[in-house]
Amino acid sequence: MCALSVPSSGKRCSLEAGDEPGLLQCKTSEISVHGIREHIETDECVAACGADRNVTGISSDSLLDPIFTAKLCSKHCVNNCPNIVDLYSNLASAEGVLLSKLCKSLETSPRRAMSQLQSSGIAPSTPAAVGEGPISAAPAAPISRTAAPAPSPTGSADAVTPAPL
């Protein structure tokens, strides 16, 4: 029971691809969980919150799935499954969204809530960049040797050219 568990160190465990194809490994991440120790999420919570223990890498993309988000925001999940709620709160926060506000808006206007979530910058093909949450196991996009550098955020023409590979 690796995924969705927190050992006594307080560091999240994650399921990751092993060195051999099809082999999965449990690894302890450097991501600390505040206030949760020696905890393995119950199968009841995993089901109630719509989570999956067999997923490698976790990203905020799952928050775009209205069925998953409805389960995550259910009273049973929010009130009884602190590890899962904390995990996805951190993922949402990294995208500039408060999970509690998202859940509240789902009660009154589900379409508007999902629209606001999509406009926050979460894109289905983009793994979350999380400082205090899990790291996605999605592969990085290949770097093109002929691609022009992206313009700087200030719009100036002095963007840095990537070093040759």
Checking if the pLDDT of 152 tops 70, the result is no
Using the Cα atoms of residue 5, residue 9, residue 10 and residue 15 in order, give the sign of their dihedral.
negative
pLDDT-derived band of residue 159, with 50, 70 and 90 as boundaries?
A: very low
Checking if the pLDDT of 87 tops 50, the result is yes
Phi, psi at residue 82, to the nearest 5°? -65, -35
Q: What is the pTM of this model?
A: 0.65
Please give the pLDDT value at position 118. 53
DSSP letters spanning 88-99: HHHHHHHTT--H
Burial class of residue 117 (count of CB atoms within 10 Å of its CB; 0-12, 13-18, 19+): buried
Higher per-residue pLDDT: 71 or 102: 71
Kindly state the tokens that stand for 85: 């709620």
At 18-71, the pLDDT tens digits run: 888 888 888 888 878 888 999 999 999 999 999 998 888 777 888 888 899 999
Per-domain residue ranges for the chain? 5-119
Residues 82-93 as b or e (16 or more Cβ within 10 Å = b): bbbbbbbbbbbb
Residues ≥6 apart with Cβ < 8 Å to 100: 89
End-to-end CA distance of the chain: 40
Average pLDDT over residues 123-144: 38
